[in-house]
Amino acid sequence: MMSASPVNVENAAFAAMTAALHHKYEKNEKRSDRINEKPYWVNGSHVDKTITYNQYTIDTAVLAPTTESPEIKQAILQQSVNSIKQTKTTMEHKVDFLMKRYTSVCRDVRSRVNAATSKLFDVTSDVYEFTSLHVIDNMGQAIATGPGPGLPAPFRAAATYFRIELRLVPRLCSLQTDIGIDPTKFPPSSNRAVYVPVPRVQNQMDVSITRQMVMDQAHHKEIIAAMAALGEEFSMRAATRDGEPDNDVYEKWSKQQIAKTQFQALEQALTATYVGLQQGMETPNQQLAKLNMI
């Protein structure tokens, strides 16, 4: 019986070692593939899922964890924003859906948006401007104030509504601290003619409403405090198609303008909290975590 030559033995050993290394490499590759599997990111793009919300069906991106790279999170956030914007529903519903979609990973985002847009709910704040004011009668005609110095009795007797040219300027929202929301990026100003019932006592406009309040733009808003002192609500209305002042018409317009601003504020807040700092950088917490590992 012939013994194996040293060369054959060496070749066999080399072949066995090569086969073992190849097997180990394949196992490592498969393990690496399993580790790199991302249910939210495949082939360089976000993964969508169908979600039903408030009777609306939306195809939107699967959320990535907050530990993911800013680039991937930004792409996912942008797809979420775009898909929700395209949904045929009210802006209030769009804000609500985007908010609920991300509050599980960004718990303070609602408080940030509320802080950034709080002025929109206060007509006395500087985001609301009374650019002009006229007092009109029950036929919708402006009443002449006369030469002064006060407001004549016929004027007060005919006064029915204040007709105000209202300008809403969301970009005048101001913040005391940096919460990742820049009001200068909010939607531009919008205008609306509104009507406020005149406070009447004994069949005429109350004497607390002065000529200066009516005639001087700088004093128009003083009417709000004067009405509050009388226990009267400064209730704004907008004209229907028939020209009649209606509170629901104004409320619909007001809610839409506020929601548009809140949606933009929410997008900014999510960029700051969910995506993290831009320019390819990590969030401050991620940077600190890395420093602690060195």
State the DSSP string of the chain: -PPPPHHHHHHHHHHHHHHHHHHHHHHHHHHHHHHH--TTEETTEE-EEEEEETTEEEEEEPPPPTTS-HHHHHHHHHHHHHHHHTSSS-HHHHHHHHHHHHTTT-TTHHHHHHHHHGGGG-TTSTTEEEEEEEEE-TTSPBPP--S-SS--HHHHHH--EEEEEEEE-GGG---SS--S--GGGSPPPEEEEEEEEPPEETTEE-TTS-HHHHH-GGGTTHHHHHHHHTT-----BEE-TTS-EEHHHHHHHHHHHHHHHHHHHHHHHHIIIII--STTPPPHHHHHHHHHH-
Please check whether residue 251 lies inside any domain of the structure: no
Q: Is 91 left (phi over 0), alpha (psi -120 to 50) or beta?
A: alpha
Q: How many structural domains does the chain have?
A: 3
Kindly tell me if the per-residue pLDDT of 280 is higher than 60: no
Would you place residue 291 in the very low, low, confident or very high pLDDT band (cuts 50, 70, 90)?
very low
pLDDT score of 21: 52
Share of the chain above pLDDT 70, in %: 81
Residue in the structure block whose two tokens are 């975590």: 289
Q: In this structure, is residue 136 part of a structural domain?
A: yes
> What does the pLDDT read at residue 133?
98
* pLDDT of 8: 58
Residues 159 and 195 placed together within one structural domain of the fold: yes
214 within some domain: yes
Residue 89 predicted with pLDDT over 70: yes
Give the burial class of 151: count Cβ atoms within 10 A of its Cβ; 0-12 exposed, 13-18 middle, 19 or more buried: buried
For the residues 153-165, what does the mean pLDDT come to? 98
91 and 141 share one domain: no
Instruction: Give the pLDDT confidence score for residue 159 in this predicted structure.
Output: 98
Q: Are residues 30 and 53 in the same domain?
A: no
**Whole-number Å distance between alpha carbons of 136 and 158:** 8
Residues 200 and 167 in one domain: yes
At 279 the pLDDT is 40
Within a domain: residue 83? Answer: yes
Using an 8 Å Cβ cutoff, are 220 and 164 in contact? yes
pLDDT higher than threshold 80 for residue 3: no
Same domain (yes/no): 231, 131: yes
Q: Which residues contact 266 (CB under 8 A, 6 or more apart)?
A: 95, 98, 99, 109, 113
pLDDT band at 18 (very low <50, low <70, confident <90, very high): low
Residue 161 C-beta-side C-alpha neighbours within 13 Å: 22
pLDDT category at 210 given cuts 50, 70, 90 is very high
Distance spanning both ends of the chain, measured CA to CA: 63
Do 54 and 137 belong to one domain? no
Whether 253 is covered by a domain: the verdict is no
225 in the same domain as 153: yes
The residue-averaged pLDDT of 217-229 equals 98
In terms of domains, do 183 and 204 share one? yes
Q: Is 264 found in the same domain as 200?
A: no
252 within some domain = no
Residues 179 and 231 in one domain: yes
- Other beta carbons within 10 angstroms of residue 154's beta carbon come to 12
Residue 276 has pLDDT above 50, yes or no: yes
Whether residue 59 sits in one domain with residue 30: no
Residue 254 falls within a domain, yes or no? no
In terms of domains, do 79 and 184 share one? Answer: no
Inter-CA distances, 275 with 45, 71, 213, 269, Å: 16, 8, 49, 9
Structure confidence at residue 175 as a pLDDT band (50, 70, 90): confident
Radius of gyration for the alpha carbons in the chain, expressed in angstroms and rounded? 32
pLDDT of 53 reads: 83
Which position has the higher pLDDT, 18 or 165?
A: 165
User: Any idea which residue has 């309040």 for tokens?
Assistant: 213
* pLDDT value at 32 more than 50: no
In a domain, 202, yes or no: yes
Q: What is the mean pLDDT of the chain?
A: 87
Q: Give the range of the structural domain holding residue 186, as residue numbers without chain letter.
A: 124-246
User: How would you class 127 by CB atoms within 10 Å of its CB: exposed for 0-12, middle for 13-18, buried for 19 or more?
Assistant: buried
